[in-house]
Amino acid sequence: MKKTLSVLLALVMTALLFTPGVFAASKAGDIDSSGVVDAADARLALRMAVGLETYIPGGPRFKAADVDGDGKLTASDARIILRAAVGLETLPELEDGDEEPLTRLTSKEVYRKGCTFTFEITTVTAEYTAIGSGFAITADGEIVTNYHVIEDALSITVKDYDGKEYPVTGVVAFDRHIDLAVIRVEGTLTPAVLDYSDYETGDTVYTLGSSNGYTGTFANGVIANDHRMIEDYNPDVVYIQTSAPISGGNSGGPLIDEYGRVIGVNTLTDEQGQNLNFAIPVSYLEALDRSHPMTVDEFSKQEETRRGMTKLFGDNNVSMRVGGVASYIFYIDARGDATLTASCPSDKVSVRVSQTSDGYYTYGFVRVIALGETDDAAVTVSFKEDASVSCVLHVTVTPDAPAEHPGMAGTPDLGALFGVAPSSFEYETALAEYPDLVYDGSALTAKAGSADNVRATYEAALTEAGFTLNEQTNDLLRTTFSYVYYNAKTGLSLLYLEHRVLGRLVDVTVSF
């Protein structure tokens, strides 16, 4: 399927090379709201048709892409849009009641329009009362906000900017990791027009919400970066960075462009800087699972005992050598007792697990150790209290696998070089520390000869990976030898510690 898709996309681009330009859009077919039906729309339509691009059923992108009006997104739609892009097809206008024509608005007009679809959301939990914001996306009562606005809610109250309250009937969908939620209220609303991609760095934008509880706070700024990655916070979301001010209470509110369209969900701010604010693009709404709507009471009960985990880095499929160690880090999101555990039915793979907290977040560390060759050993990581929340790692151990720690910045793995697994682990409590890996000296020398040869072999691998010897010490009795290696490119330091008795290597400890 991927190969077929690549060929089709190549044909799309080739066809466009032989056309003088693109043609004015009629909104039908203009999926990315760029004002033209072009190659980008044809590519999106094709990705939608084969399931590589998600969408909200009935949403603006669905309406623009379903050009044959059959209620589905198929290859036929992609073909028609491609023909329109090269001038071989004329697309009809969408029916009345769809998106308004694009007209640049004054700031006052943006404010007045924004007030029609923006709401204040009050959440009561067992420990606190919080205020956030949200905006309507359907006329029948769906309102978008951040997940953290309704997190742990016992009750949720919604009111508009005239102070009118709307009874909340349920939670339609949510994603803790992305930090988005959709709630439903009773009543008829004015939905915002959503724009998925027609914005770029430098565009004027506006924020609207209940900043620190001040209802109806309106501010402007520009898009400071239209594709901002925040690896240390959430590497799976590409944010819109903006200079338009936001504060507590703005969470979940709309980031509005100068045409009155909502392009993002205001989510967080970096308090260590000035006007470093971030919104989640509305395109992420299409990733929400809407198949399990629930009442507020059902949501509250689920929140009381929720357990979730997110693997932060690395692939679920890992290829290792005998003696290799794969390192995985999980973010643990849990209420009540929650103990991370891992198991593997194969005697060729061993697993070590620990978890720690930095005071705000809890993380789990999973070490997968290759003891012998195997085709596919399944390592299941789950909660002891709830096995239904799990992640499966597929481990293959072969002689020709990379001699590195997967997920460890390409650092050579001592055990993988010699086929010797660690004999023990010494876990550190600090979040930034990886566990020390301790190797039996007699097993190492049986594979490589002398203690000096063990270190020389490992040092050669470290040098090839960009490490240099930075420091070397030994105690007076010449029983403990310490070598510190440093990689200037990654900033990673490695401590290689030998313990010898009468010249015999007892063990080697590798620390990061």
The tokens describing 384, both together, are 């002891």
The whole-angstrom separation of Cα 274 and Cα 408 is 33
The whole-angstrom separation of Cα 477 and Cα 144 is 67
The whole-angstrom separation of Cα 36 and Cα 81 is 11
The tokens describing 31, both together, are 């999926």
Same fold, 2-85 and 306-407: no
Q: What are the start-end ranges of the H helices in 323-478?
A: 414-418, 441-448, 451-464
What pLDDT does 285 receive? 93
CATH no. for 306-407: 2.60.40.10
Q: How far is CA 485 from the centre of its chain?
A: 32
Pairing of the two strands 317-320 and 390-397: parallel
For the chain, the distance separating the N- and C-terminal CA atoms, rounded to the nearest angstrom, is 42
The tokens describing 250, both together, are 């703005």
- Residue 284 gets which letter from DSSP? G
pLDDT in tens, 319-363: 999 999 888 888 887 776 778 899 999 999 999 888 877 666 678
Assigned fold of 2-85: Type 1 dockerin domain (1.10.1330)
150-166: string of b/e by CB count within 10 Å (b at 16+)?
bbbbbebbbbbbeeeeb
- Nearest Cα to Cα of residue 135 among 164, 103, 158, 153: 158
How many Cβ atoms sit within 10 Å of the Cβ of residue 316?
12
pLDDT in tens, 235-288: 789 999 999 999 989 999 999 999 999 999 999 998 887 889 999 999 999 889
Cα distances (Å, whole numbers) of residue 306 to 168, 302, 442: 22, 6, 47
Q: Is 21 exposed, middle or buried (0-12, 13-18, 19+ CB in 10 A)?
A: exposed
pTM for this predicted structure: 0.56
State the CATH class of domain 100-304: mainly beta
Domain boundaries, the chain: 2-85, 100-304, 306-407, 424-512
Q: Which helix (H) or strand (E) holds 86?
A: none
Contact predicate 244/207, CB 8 Å: yes
3-state secondary structure of 41: helix
Q: What are the start-end ranges of the H helices in 59-146?
A: 60-65, 75-85, 107-117
Contact predicate 23/85, CB 8 Å: yes
| pLDDT tens, N- to C-terminus, the chain (512 residues) | 334 434 333 433 333 333 333 333 447 888 877 778 888 888 888 888 877 766 665 566 777 888 887 777 888 888 888 888 888 888 866 554 444 457 899 999 999 999 999 999 999 988 889 999 999 999 999 999 999 999 889 999 999 989 999 999 999 999 988 999 999 999 999 999 998 888 899 999 999 999 998 999 999 999 999 999 887 778 789 999 999 999 989 999 999 999 999 999 999 998 887 889 999 999 999 889 898 899 999 999 888 777 778 887 778 898 999 999 888 888 887 776 778 899 999 999 999 888 877 666 678 888 899 999 999 899 999 988 878 788 999 999 999 998 887 655 678 889 999 999 888 876 554 444 556 889 999 999 999 999 999 999 999 999 998 999 999 998 888 899 999 999 888 788 889 999 999 889 999 998 87
The whole-angstrom separation of Cα 189 and Cα 205 is 23
The one-letter amino acid at 270: D
> Which residue has 């198991």 as its token pair?
343
